[in-house]
Amino acid sequence: MNDPSIPTLADALLSWFDRTRRDLPWRQNRTPYRVWLAEIMLQQTQVQTAIPYYERFLSRFPTLADLAQADEQAVLKLWEGLGYYSRARNLLAAARQVMREDNGQLPCDFKALRALPGIGDYTAGAILSLACGQQAAAVDGNVVRVLARWSGTAWSAKSLQDRRQAADFVLTHMPAGRPGDFNEALMDLGATVCLPREPRCPACPLAGGCQAYCRNLTAALPLRDKSPDVPTERRLLLLIAAPGFWHVRQRPPRGLLAGLFTFDWLAPDQDPRAFRTWLQGQDNVLVQPLPSLTHRFSHLAWHVDALRLGLPRADLGELAAWLETDGPQPDGRWAGRQELQQLPFPAAVDQYRRQELDEPPKTASP
């Protein structure tokens, strides 16, 4: 890595970036707040998916002070469909902390940024380099892939030690005066050319010095960790409706889908077969099967079967005894059409709500 030809990496990379730079909304007027918001949204989310969410969020909360004053449900509603909702809750918590402790300004200091909820090494480095103009590395999976291949180093994006070595590599070769552009160029190269599978090596500005390309190692680098198998839980969703109302339940403030709203679920200690048998004897409940779905989270998957239960009036009656009662309101509550539209629902079950409201599906990933 001390080869005197290595400094040409920055020249070739930035020359390519100047010609091909993507026109993205967060690259305009790069303030710490805008960069922070974009980088949080881009975690686990494709660029094209994030763009409309970013624009809507910034329109609603144009400044950090506006976000800090927001209601959590309003923030979660704007995040609806992006998934990984802890990102939104951490944004709100961090904004409020900055207003209390940093005079309403995101600090241009690595240690202070890392002390904020939801900000790790990568996001802190992105804010410092892109918005503050500091020599700071922003190393994500794309960057590890580019550098592992170019240097021929057996790094893994999931290894903390390897990411730190990659960050040191970035800082060693980052040109003075363009730290943000250098980081963005590495990100763009990994996102558009140095792809995980079928990289576009002939189009790469670094191909001439790329060890993986020259030695036919692009498929082997970076090292790949096998994705762990996740357990599958079978759940029975109960969409309970009465004329003009739907029964909803808020998730607990901690854990999976924290604070979001869903329809009801059969309680875990209830036998689905016994419940279906009980339903057959209820003349006042109109039972309609709904399509099943499978939804994968980071650590588990849900296989969801669903029933629509039509009631003559907004009264659960004996049905309440079968329902899961987790959350801040153990009895749940009834929501009218307008409120149902406004409540933040997770992508895992949002298709059922949209069918009820005759709304088109969102295009974002979970």
Classify 10 in phi/psi space as left (phi over 0), alpha (psi -120 to 50) or beta.
alpha
Instruction: Answer for the pair 278, 338: CB distance below 8 angstroms, yes or no.
Output: no
How many angstroms from the chain centroid is the CA of residue 290? 28
What H or E segment, with its residue span, contains residue 96?
A: helix 86-101
DSSP string, 40-72: HHHTTS-HHHHHHHHHHHHHH--SHHHHHTS-H
Task: Please pick, among 39, 80, 184, 324, the residue that the annotation labels catalytic.
Answer: 39
Residues 6+ apart with CB under 8 A from 362: 80, 81, 347, 350
Identify whether 39 is a catalytic site residue: yes
What's at 307, amino acid-wise? L
For residues 164 and 210, give the distance between their C-alpha atoms in angstroms, rounded to a whole number. 21
How many angstroms separate the CA atoms of 45 and 364, rounded?
9
| DSSP secondary structure of 282-328 | -TT-EEEEEEEEEEE-SS-EEEEEEEEEE-SSS--GGGGGGB---SS
What residues are labeled active site? 39
